[in-house]
Chains A and B, each alone.
Chain A
């Protein structure tokens, strides 16, 4: 009887706790506290960004591979607006959009290297260039991969022009000239660049065209090459041949 009174009382006491603490306790009991799950797809460069960030910060996580032709109920529930990967779920809360996930990781896990610069102006610069790559550059690249013949030539010219703009615009980030990384200190823009161009050789083989030419874009080339040496980047690189076939099939489908 004494035990049952004890449990009754602790239950009642628990109910008196503020709601958010009560919810936190319940989540801990359910094993969700601090649990990190990444919903992704093996070939996605956007998912790769999140993997790199989680590795840099040393955050353990569960990875769930999604079949994008047959999306899981979890993905549809966690990202009802876009139904896309990556989605990071932390403490039962979903975060969608790769760049937003990187900002979330930066703000939530204070240990380890900072993904975004502390200085607001430096931060604005990296957000600006990440946005440039994400919106304008990728739009050009999509047009190029979906076209053929003369339209394709024109689109590729636009792709190279955008790369030149990026090359010239980011020169100032490297006062010593060559990008150099201490340990695994990749930042926001490094991660975006690495995810888009890190496996450029794969894209070049699959599409039979040179995208990152060391003569045309020496800075981007040396930047990407320096990053590709890092273990955290090598470990997240999808298998080469599998990627080549995948990109070729995508291009084949989009030209039909």
Chain B
């Protein structure tokens, strides 16, 4: 098998998406931690357009964008499939991956707010996004993928682990058992899956990292915003 490398950064949820997919399929790989404040020549060579992580390098060929990488991994290594067999169900899974790309970023907009109208707007968008997941995505299934986790669960990993950190730092509570019963259960079930449990950034360390990042961001924005 050709060599597989993953260029990522701790504690990026997008990096972790790829780690989970590789580990779920039992694909050996070399992990390379990237310092985004001092980008390596390798990253600039493999992702000249966006200069972002994660980048998967397979046999020397780079694949960028985590959602594209997930589909690539599924195409190359069919064992322990992340997508269902049935074409319609595959389309539904892809729909939710697309939704994760388009709508979940609102939680990071919330992360960057301190209060006022901006925060209310980000909170409202986040709640709408979670409502769609609860009522249309997850409904009464254990996972987005049904009985087992699939590509959509991986795509929503941010909501299971990173959102809690955002809630703590911003001082809002979005997912509660009585408002989002299925989603709330899902956040617990997802993190209990052995491969996921063994491959999550430590919550305390992550909280410290993002607190620093948020403080720096807010300081650079200046007062009165």
Contacts and interface: CB of A to CB of B under 8 A. Distances in A.
A100 B88 CA distance: 10
Contacts of B49: 132, 165, 169
Contact of A107 (B76, B87, B99): B87
Interface residues of B, number: 26
B196 interface: no
B75 A100 contact: no
A97 B76 contact: no
A124 B63 contact: yes
B219 interface: no
Interface in A41-98: 80-81, 90-91, 93, 95-97
A121 B91 contact: no
A120 B72 contact: yes
Interface in A113-169: 120-121, 123-124, 127-128, 131-132, 135, 165, 169
B174 to A, nearest CB: 18
Q: A interface, how many residues as a size bin?
A: 20 to 34
A122 B92 CA distance: 23
Which of A96, A107, A120, A165 is packed against the most chain B CB atoms within 10 Å?
Answer: A120
Contact of B87 (A80, A96, A108, A165): A108
B95 A100 contact: yes
Contact of A90 (B65, B88, B90, B94): B88
Nearest to B132: A81
Given A96-B95, A120-B76, A124-B68, A104 B61 contact: no
A101 interface: yes
Contacts of B102: 135
B221 interface: no
B71 interface: yes
A33 interface: no
A59 to B, nearest CB: 14
A131 B58 CA distance: 21
Interface of A: 80-81, 90-91, 93, 95-97, 99-101, 103-104, 107-108, 120-121, 123-124, 127-128, 131-132, 135, 165, 169
Nearest 8 interchain pairs by C-beta: A120-B75, A93-B88, A95-B91, A124-B72, A104-B91, A124-B63, A108-B87, A107-B87
Interface of B: 49, 58, 61, 63-65, 67-69, 71-72, 75-76, 87-88, 90-92, 94-95, 98-99, 101-102, 132, 136
11 contacts: A81-B136, A95-B88, A104-B90, A121-B58, A121-B61, A121-B63, A124-B63, A124-B68, A124-B72, A127-B68, A128-B68
